Structures are given as C-alpha cells and as structure tokens.
Amino acid sequence: MRVAEHLNRSLHALMESDPSVHLLGEDVSDPYGGAFKITKGLSDRFGPRVMSTPLSEGGIVGVGAGLALAGDRAIVEIMFGDFATLAFDQLVNFAAKSTTMYGRRVDVPLIVRLPTGGRRGYGPTHSQSLQKHFIGVPGLSVYEMSPFHDAERLFGEIFASGTPAVFFEDKVLYTKPMLSGGDGLHTFELRDGWAVIRAEEDTEHVLLAPGGLTDRAVAALRDLLLEDEIACTLLVPARLHPLDVTPVADVLAAARRVHVAEDGTAGGTWGAEVARVLHERLWGRLTAPITHISAPDSIIPTAAHLEARCTVQPADIRRAINK
Amino acid sequence: MTEFRIPKLNNNDDSYILVEWLAADGQEVKQGDPLVVIETSKTAEELESPADGTLVIRVHSGDCAPGELIGAIGAAVEVAEPVIPEVPPLTSGEIDVVITRPAQALIEHHGISLDRVRALGRKVIRAEDVAALADPREVITLPRAQRQAADVVVLSHQTIPAAFTAVKADVTDTAKLTRDLSKHARTLIGLSELLVKAVADQRAEFPHLFASWLGDGRIRLAEGSHVGVTIDVGKGLFVPVVRDADVRPLDAVARELMDYRMTALRGSFRERDLEGANIAVTLHGEAGVEFAIPIVYPGHVAALSLASTQQEVQRGDEGFIVRQTVRIGLAFDHRVVNGRDAALFLGAVKRLLEEPRRWLE
C-alpha cells in the first residue's frame, strides 16, 4: 500500500473510531479530496465533520485549535506546508501556549498536517521543508510521516498526549509504498517511535533522518554497503521534536560515526539540534564530529536540474558518510 | 493497430499509478471512450481511447511511466510478453547472502565458488572475507589469557614512555648462600626470591618507583611494597602478587612464591592473587638468556627483569677466575623517574644480591 493511501485509510479509521475528530482544510471535501487525495472519501462519509475552508491558514488553524481547546479533536490540512508560515502565530501563540495558560493543564488535541518537500518542480514557495522553524517551540511537538510508522497510531498518540503537533508529510513519500519487514538487504525494525533499518547489527556508522528522506537514505545505505563496504544503520524517528533517543540508545552506543540528514536548508536546523543532543551523549566515543547533511542555504528553484542541486540526493548522503 | 501510451500529464512526476481500466481486455472501444484511470501525485485522470477498435491491455495496474506502452487499439493481436512493471528499489523478502562489489571482483579474480562463500555463514560478504578465503594459510584466535596479555602490553606501549637500564651483579657468593638459606628456611630460596625481597625493601628510599602516575604531573605513592612476579609454566603468563614484601621476612616471601608456582602448575589463580601490585619482577631464568627488557605494567612506574646466571671469566689476582654473573634490567616510566634514580635503585638492589651477609643479619 502506498503512503498516501495508508494516510487516507488512517484518517478514515480515526474519524470512524472517534466521533469527536474534525478535519479542516482547503479543498479537502469530495469529490476533490484534497490536493494530494489524502482526505478522499472523508466528507462523503463523515459529512459536516469534514470542512472545506476558505483560503486562510491562520483562520483554519485557529478554528482547529479552538475545537481542540473546547474538548473536541481537530486535524487541519495545510495544502502546502510552505503556508504554515501563515498559521505560525496561531500555532505558537495560541495552540501551543493554550496547554498552560488556564491555571491548569489543558489538552489541545490538534494535528496540523503539512505536505512538504521538493523534488516535484513546484518552485520556491511550494517545495520547502520548514521543520526547523517549529523546533523548540514549548508546547508544540513536531512529527514526520515515514513509510515505516503506522499513521493511525501516530495520530492517536498525538491526540492522547494532549499537546498540539505539526505533522510533516513528504510529497514524494506519498507515492512510495509503506515498508515493513525488510528489503532483502536491510531489516526494518520498529521500536517505540523509531524505525531501525540495518543490514548488520552494531554498525560503526549511524544515520538519523526524518521519514521523508527514507528512500534516499536507504538508497545511500545500499551503495555504501555494496560499493564502499561501509555498514550504516538508518534511524528514523516519528517524532522529530522533542527527540527521545533512549529507544535506540544501544544502536547509538555502538556507533563511532554519526550522521544526520534532513531536507531543510542549512542553518539553525533540526539536524543541528540532534547533533547537540547526541554530542552530549556520545562525546568521547565518536571518532569524528557528527556530520550534517542538508539542503544548501538556497531558495529552492523550480527547474528540475537546479532543484536537484538544492535537495538532498542519495549521492550527497553517500559522499558525506564516505568522507 | 494504434499504440496506446501514457501521455506526459504533468511536469512533476516521473511515474504514475495505473489505477484501473474502464474497458475490458478485448472489448470493442470507440475513439473518445474513457479507457483507463491514471493517478498522478496530484490527481487522477481518465484517458480516452485514441481510436476505434479492440482494446488489448498490456499493463493491468501498478506503476507506469509517461510514454510507457500500456495497451493497443486495433485488431486483436497476440501480445508477446506482458510488460513487467519496474521493480521498486525496495522489495520484501530475504536474500541468503549479499556480496559487495569489491568482494564480487575478488571472487571472480580468484575463481572462488559461491558454495565456499556461502559456507562463511555471513550475511554480508566483504572483500576481506573473500581475501581470507583465497589465502590458504590458517588463521587462529589466541587463547583468552594471551589476548588479555596483548591488551595489557598494548596499553603499556601506548601510555608509558619507558626507558631502560641494566646492571650486572656478581652472584658467585650468593649462590652458595642460597643453598644454606633454603635448607634453613625449608623452602627454595634462589636469586628470584632474593630479588623480590631486595626490590621490595627499596620502597622507603625509592618511593617513586612504587608509585602510580595520575596525570598532570602527579603520582600516588604506594602504601606497601606489592611485588608482581611473572610465572609462566607453559599455561599462560600470570603475574601473582607478593603483598607487603617489604615488611615480611624473606622465608615468608619465598614460601608465597613457591605456593604461586604450585598454583600455576596445578590450579588456577584467584582474582586477589593477581591484583594490587605496584611494581613487577619478571623472571627469565631459562639458560642462556643474558638480559631482558620488561614491560612496565599500566599503572606501575617500574618493572625489573632477572636474566639467567652466566659463567664469566674475569682477571683475578693471579691469572683468571670464573665468576657467576646475572643481569638485572629496569624499565621505568621516564615521566616519573630519570636514569640517575634508576641507576641508584639498581645499585642498591645489586648490592643486596652481591653481599649475601646482609641476608643473614
């Protein structure tokens, strides 16, 4: 099953099992079913709980947070994650803070879904990976879809936490199959919010990457092992922030080199925060500073051949790990 | 017959998904009839028939690419081979053995059979694994005790800048004395026993040689003379410790050393037998060994070696005389002590060995 279909089924299951869940977003209703078809069939099935809204990201997120604050649960789709900037105020100053502003802890079960990333030729304002702007906002969790993690479980986990979350979904990942078990070379293991992808145990190299990079990271892992004889374990966390590395502590403890890859542009990134967390944990055991692989500090171009240079490619990951 | 290819539907995707055919294989269709649903990353599109005729479906569902031939319209013709959709890079299932490209090149170079490669029992075969297969020489793993010894000597070499000094002692008179001492003490007292005791007795005067390097120019002095003595009876090298050898009499030290030899031959050492030394004496009594350079144990400052006794012709008052001599070596951590300290220390030890009267006092 492809990731897009899995997400769609997860939303169906979630809305079926929990009548307090609302879904809002631009053009999410049938027959269109959302720009990426993730909300297909939901409005036909759940009627007024699915609402196609006017083009106002701040408005939609504000309504979603209001629903969550009032005791319901809300999933908001921003058609392109780039426009989460228009909802930044509602996320940071309203949704995230509302959990602690009423004299007692208040749950805000809100998920803002953000189709994200380039490699589609959508140009500078429809191709970005803005995860880094949401890292370190008190009261806001940052998740990213991966082909390993069950989306329905993640949504349930976020709602249960009572903390609002942004949920990044790589647009190319939509078209890729969900993965489990292994690919013949690597085994895929799930543990407490992390996917562990490896051909051998206790590898010298460990690569951390969000779910959207999975296809490129696994391609790089293959080449590294088969061409360069370097065994590397890929760790994919479902929750990017706050990052809890305890479930994969054994994998990290065996590592002598650690690398972090992400699609965001260089500077003030998620990967830098991961490196800070890991340097504190692994200092003295690593034989080199943690490697950081990201898109360059550049506005993402539309033309495919230029865009390729501004998005992380398997060869970039392989080269960095090989260094 | 008209080919039915997927047109380029957008600028963004290099592959689409063929969701379903709206007409059946072999069905008569008219130009403009909706034929097939293709899903791009943004939308699903119906493609219309480009001609009238019989539909021949070549790709039934799944991944497809712009320009790919998915069917044909025309007279029913035999379709040779179904087009197999491109295998996605990630597929499920187990491969019994993965051979890296460098390993594959070596396998071909040496003409090694895949059975032998499989027999390695490894999931990933690297060049070094194949190189080992191609090398007929046997590879063995050393016993555990030797592997531990290896770790110790490597650590010593990596962390201790050791210098070395040796002295020659004339033990002609001592040889006679040790026989008497042995008889009297009812245990073997030889040069080894004398040396252990002689070394231990130097701590008051040479405390730095019993110390431990702490770093930053600091050392911790010892609270007693705990002398490690090498014993190797062919079952591996052990360094049991004679504790407080400075405050115990010679015969007690000798008896403990004898117990340790027996343990080495018959039993196994307890952890406490082997712990807590702050200086070491290494014994090289095998005939013909003139002198030996010991390894300073990590955490120690000094290690001594006792070579075998040599017959030496020396000029006497009238003509020549035969003397018995032995070389005593001292390897020392040059961060803590210098050559002068080493020479003074060795001189004191040498005197004790050369003047047997002192042992009778």
Tell me the pLDDT tens digit for each residue of A69-94. 999 999 999 999 999 999 999 999 99
From the list B15, B94, B101, the residue facing A226 with the nearest CB is B101
Domain with CATH 3.40.50.920 in chain A: 181-322
pLDDT < 50 regions, chain B:
76-94
C-alpha–C-alpha distance, residues A193 and A319, integer Å? 28
A27 burial via Cβ count (<10 Å: 0-12, 13-18, 19+)? middle
Q: Which residues of A touch B98 (CB under 8 A)?
A: 185, 199, 225-226
Query: Does the pLDDT at position A263 exceed 80?
Result: yes
Q: State the pLDDT at residue B85.
A: 39
d(CA A52, nearest CA chain B) in Å = 18
Distance of alpha carbon A244 from the chain centroid:
15
**Do the domains B145-360 and B2-74 match in fold?**
no
**C-beta neighbour count of A183 within 10 angstroms:** 21
Strand partners, A315: none
Strands B28-29 and B53-57: antiparallel
Q: State the pLDDT at residue B26.
A: 86
Radius of gyration of the CA atoms of chain B, in A: 42
* Closest to A113 in 3D by CA, of A42, A24, A239: A24
**C-beta neighbour count of B300 within 10 angstroms:** 25
| Chain A (204-223) residues lying within 8 Å, Cβ to Cβ, of chain B | 215, 218-219, 222
- Using the Cβ of A303 and the Cβ atoms of chain B, whether some distance falls under 8 Å is answered with no
Please give the sequence-ordered ranges of beta strands (E in DSSP) within B187-319, or none if there are none: 212-215, 218-220, 227-229, 241-242, 279-283, 302-306, 310-315
Residue of B nearest to A224 (CA): B100
Strands B16-21 and B34-39: antiparallel
CATH code: domain B2-74 is: 2.40.50.100
Q: A215 vs B90: CB contact, 8 Å cut-off?
A: yes
Q: Please give the biggest Cα pair distance in chain B.
A: 133
CB B43 within 8 A of CB A31: no
Query: Position of tokens 């059946």?
Result: B24
- Give B229-282 pLDDT, tens digit per residue: 999 888 888 899 999 999 999 999 999 999 999 999 987 889 889 999 999 999
From the list A36, A121, A179, the residue facing B11 with the nearest CB is A121
d(CA A184, nearest CA chain B) in Å = 4
C-alpha–C-alpha distance, residues A81 and A173, integer Å? 14
What is the number of residues in chain B? 361
From the list A35, A180, A227, the residue facing B42 with the nearest CB is A35
C-alpha–C-alpha distance, residues B137 and B140, integer Å? 10
Q: B92 vs A182: CB contact, 8 Å cut-off?
A: yes
Q: What is the DSSP string of A126-140?
A: SS---GGGGTT-TT-
Domain with CATH 3.40.50.970 in chain A: 3-175
d(CA B7, nearest CA chain A) in Å = 18
Q: What is the DSSP string of A32-53?
A: T--TTSTTTTHHHHHGGGEEE-
The pair of structure tokens assigned to A29 is: 């209703």
Q: B89 vs A219: CB contact, 8 Å cut-off?
A: yes
Suggest the residue from A36, A229, A230 to mutate for an interface test with chain B (most B CBs closer than 10 A). Answer: A229
Q: Which residues of B touch A2 (CB under 8 A)?
A: 17
Query: Is domain A181-322 in CATH 3.40.190.10, yes or no?
Result: no
From the list B91, B93, B98, the residue facing A199 with the nearest CB is B98
Query: Position of tokens 């998904």?
Result: B17
C-alpha–C-alpha distance, residues B360 and A62, integer Å? 99
ipTM field:
0.80
C-alpha–C-alpha distance, residues B117 and B106, integer Å? 11
* Closest to A183 in 3D by CA, of B121, B85, B115, B87: B87
- Give A298-314 pLDDT, tens digit per residue: 999 999 999 999 999 99
- Using the Cβ of B268 and the Cβ atoms of chain A, whether some distance falls under 8 Å is answered with no
End-to-end CA distance of chain A: 36
Going by C-beta distance under 8 Å and a sequence separation of 6 or more, which residues neighbour residue A169? A3, A7, A36, A38, A81, A113, A114, A115, A116, A144, A145, A212
Assigned superfamily of B145-360: Chloramphenicol acetyltransferase-like domain (3.30.559.10)
- Using the Cβ of A37 and the Cβ atoms of chain B, whether some distance falls under 8 Å is answered with yes
C-alpha–C-alpha distance, residues B19 and A257, integer Å? 44
C-alpha–C-alpha distance, residues B302 and B163, integer Å? 10
- Give A126-153 pLDDT, tens digit per residue: 999 999 999 999 999 999 999 999 999 9
Is A26 strand, coil or helix? coil
C-alpha–C-alpha distance, residues B19 and B12, integer Å? 19
Query: Position of tokens 């999933």?
Result: A75
- Domain ranges in chain B are 2-74, 98-134, 145-360
d(CA A229, nearest CA chain B) in Å = 6
Going by C-beta distance under 8 Å and a sequence separation of 6 or more, which residues neighbour residue B292? B282, B284, B305, B307, B329
Indicate the average pLDDT of chain A: 96
Query: Position of tokens 């008569």?
Result: B28
CB B103 within 8 A of CB A192: no
* Closest to A292 in 3D by CA, of A314, A267, A255, A309: A267
The pair of structure tokens assigned to A193 is: 């919010």
Phi/psi at B47 (nearest 5 deg)? -105, 140
From the list B39, B102, B124, the residue facing A199 with the nearest CB is B124
Angle at alpha carbon of residue A136, lines to A169 and A145, rounded to 5°: 15
| Chain A (121-150) residues lying within 8 Å, Cβ to Cβ, of chain B | 121-122
Second-level CATH architecture of A3-175: 3-Layer(aba) Sandwich (3.40)
C-alpha–C-alpha distance, residues A161 and B225, integer Å? 63
Strands B62-64 and B16-21: antiparallel
Query: Position of tokens 């499920």?
Result: B92
Suggest the residue from B9, B13, B43, B90 to mutate for an interface test with chain A (most A CBs closer than 10 A). Answer: B90
Q: B41 vs A172: CB contact, 8 Å cut-off?
A: yes
